[in-house]
């Protein structure tokens, strides 16, 4: 079997079938913003490896940080042991996150960060004497990961509720925040979505532990950008009904929307914040869940007095070193200006695509560009076009989108937007 045949026959890929395998490009190297395939062909990576490779690939200071750490200690258990990479990363995270978030739980992936956040909310409610509160409310259109609890708060239509019906926890779904980013906000609760959220909380607050929401950008659930004022209103409602507010910043964190975190678009802060994807600059899987003293102390105040979670690879030193190196780069490179320039250029180059047949909407926020079609776009059909045009894009649902590394040059970005236009024309 050739390597490609072996792959097709034996290896599962994300959301794929091994009996009817999807087309694959075999990548041999990744340097800067470029993927080099095994046959020598090259593609600019418009996806930044699912939002994570914000500095591009092979960034020397990050490679060195991981190599140096690997030579010293690639892993030790975090139970009963600690180490400088975890401490150094913790210091950096406190510097860039809202001040109330003081307590950090390291995990292996985004979905687990969401599991941990939901578990914290439930354990907190139980510890402070509100034992009936164990369900969650979330807006429609969300995506929070593929593990069980995370899956239960994904959009009930585009998520996996129909497949795993009966096996998933029952949650409460509020309407998607109806006022888009850039539209005028209204305080009329009947129009801004907060009336519907209030109604759910008023009726069910005795059983609701927390609200899970992606702030400002709903990512894999539909690439939708909504008005940050919704979050101010949600915060007030969560306070009124003793509900823990959880921001899932796994897609938005570390500058993607033009601010360090999407929560920086609004005045309020969440009780719990999940981060992942870009945390190691795409070097490896890692994530973190941060919370306040109030939640942490609440959990500690009652039996069993400890937070009941502890992954084997918690606080992995290699991942901590990679994350610290990535944050140092954010501290020393002009990422805000770069993301701003990417935003301006994408607006100019994507906006004209509105005129094409089949294009329903064009949206840009920070380094996220979306061309929404009025029909389903097949990623399998997009696959050969990527190689032909030398730009890696993987459309999903109705959306042809990109979220390039921040170091993408103007010329490279033009190739990406051109490829998005070609896909909008032919798919």
Ligand X SMILES: *Cc1c(COP(=O)(O)O)cnc(C)c1O
Give the residue ranges of the annotated binding site for pyridoxal 5'-phosphate. 110-111, 248, 311-312
Active-site entry in 15, 39, 184, 188:
15
Q: 320 or 353: whose CB is closer to ligand X?
A: 320
Q: 205 or 277: whose CB is closer to ligand X?
A: 277
Q: 319 or 424: whose CB is closer to ligand X?
A: 319
Q: Nearest-CB residue to ligand X?
A: 110
Active-site entry in 119, 149, 259, 277:
277
Known active-site residue 57: no
Q: 241 or 286: whose CB is closer to ligand X?
A: 286
Q: Residue 317: which region, alpha, beta or left (left: phi > 0; alpha: psi -120 to 50)?
A: alpha
Least distance (Å) from ligand X to the CB of residue 257? Answer: 12
Known active-site residue 124: no
Distance CA 19, CA 296 (A): 46
Q: Within a 13 Å sphere around the CA of 107, how many CA atoms are in the beta-carbon half?
A: 22
**Apex 327 CA angle, 324 and 331, nearest 5:** 135
Active-site entry in 124, 143, 226, 401:
143
Which residues fall in the annotated binding site for substrate? Answer: 50, 143, 277, 310, 394
Distance CA 16, CA 22 (A): 7
Least distance (Å) from ligand X to the CB of residue 114? Answer: 6
Cβ atoms 104, 288 nearer than 8 A? yes
Least distance (Å) from ligand X to the CB of residue 225? Answer: 13
Distance CA 72, CA 66 (A): 10
Least distance (Å) from ligand X to the CB of residue 332? Answer: 26
Least distance (Å) from ligand X to the CB of residue 58? Answer: 22
**Which spans of this chain sit near ligand X (rule: CB under 6 A)?**
109-111, 114, 143-145, 214, 219-220, 248, 250-251, 276-277
Least distance (Å) from ligand X to the CB of residue 145? Answer: 4
Known active-site residue 387: no
Q: 276 or 395: whose CB is closer to ligand X?
A: 276
Q: 104 or 250: whose CB is closer to ligand X?
A: 250
Active-site entry in 45, 155, 248, 264:
248
Cβ atoms 420, 363 nearer than 8 A? no
Q: 229 or 277: whose CB is closer to ligand X?
A: 277
Buried b (16+ CB within 10 A) or exposed e, 28-66: eebebbbbeeeeeeebbbbbbbbbbbbbbbebeebeebb
Least distance (Å) from ligand X to the CB of residue 109? Answer: 4
Known active-site residue 277: yes
Q: Which residues are known catalytic residues?
A: 15, 143, 248, 277
């Amino acid at each position: 079997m050739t390597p490609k045949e072996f792959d097709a026959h034996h290896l599962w890929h994300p959301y794929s079938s091994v009996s009817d395998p999807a087309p694959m490009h075999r990548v041999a190297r990744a340097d800067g913003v470029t993927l080099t395939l095994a046959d020598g062909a090259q593609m600019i990576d418009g996806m930044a490896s699912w939002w994570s490779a914000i500095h591009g690939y092979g960034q020397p200071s990050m490679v060195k940080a991981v190599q140096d750490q690997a030579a010293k200690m690639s892993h030790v258990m975090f139970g009963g042991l600690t180490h400088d990479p975890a401490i150094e990363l913790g210091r950096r995270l406190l510097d860039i996150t809202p001040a109330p978030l003081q307590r950090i739980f390291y995990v292996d992936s985004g979905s687990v960060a969401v599991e941990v956040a939901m578990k914290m909310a439930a354990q907190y409610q139980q510890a402070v004497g509100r034992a009936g509160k164990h369900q969650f409310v979330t807006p429609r259109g969300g995506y929070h990961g593929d593990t069980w609890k995370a899956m239960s708060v994904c959009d009930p239509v585009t998520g996996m509720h129909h497949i795993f019906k009966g096996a998933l926890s029952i949650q409460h779904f509020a309407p998607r925040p109806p006022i888009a980013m850039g539209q005028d906000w209204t305080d009329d609760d009947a129009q801004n979505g907060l009336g519907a959220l209030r109604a759910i909380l008023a009726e069910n607050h005795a059983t609701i532990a927390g609200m899970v929401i992606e702030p400002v950008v709903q990512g894999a659930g539909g690439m939708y950008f909504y008005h940050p004022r919704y979050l101010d209103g949600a915060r007030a409602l969560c306070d009124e009904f003793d509900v823990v507010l959880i921001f899932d910043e796994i897609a938005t964190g570390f500058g993607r929307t033009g601010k360090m975190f999407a929560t920086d678009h609004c005045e309020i802060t969440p009780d719990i914040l999940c981060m992942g994807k870009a945390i190691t600059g795409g070097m490896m899987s890692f994530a973190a869940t941060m919370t306040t003293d109030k939640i942490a102390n609440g959990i500690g105040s009652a039996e069993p007095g400890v937070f009941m979670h502890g992954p084997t690879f918690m606080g992995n030193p290699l991942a901590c070193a990679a994350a610290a190196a990535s944050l140092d780069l954010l501290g020393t490179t002009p990422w805000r200006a770069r993301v701003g320039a990417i935003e301006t250029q994408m607006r100019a180059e994507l906006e004209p695509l509105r005129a094409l047949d089949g294009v329903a909407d064009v949206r840009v926020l920070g380094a996220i560009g979306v061309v929404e079609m009025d029909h389903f776009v097949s990623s399998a059909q997009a696959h050969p076009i990527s190689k032909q045009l030398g730009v890696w894009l993987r459309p999903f649902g109705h959306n042809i989108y990109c979220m390039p590394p921040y170091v993408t040059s103007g010329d490279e970005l033009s190739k990406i937007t051109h490829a998005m236009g070609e896909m909008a024309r032919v798919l």
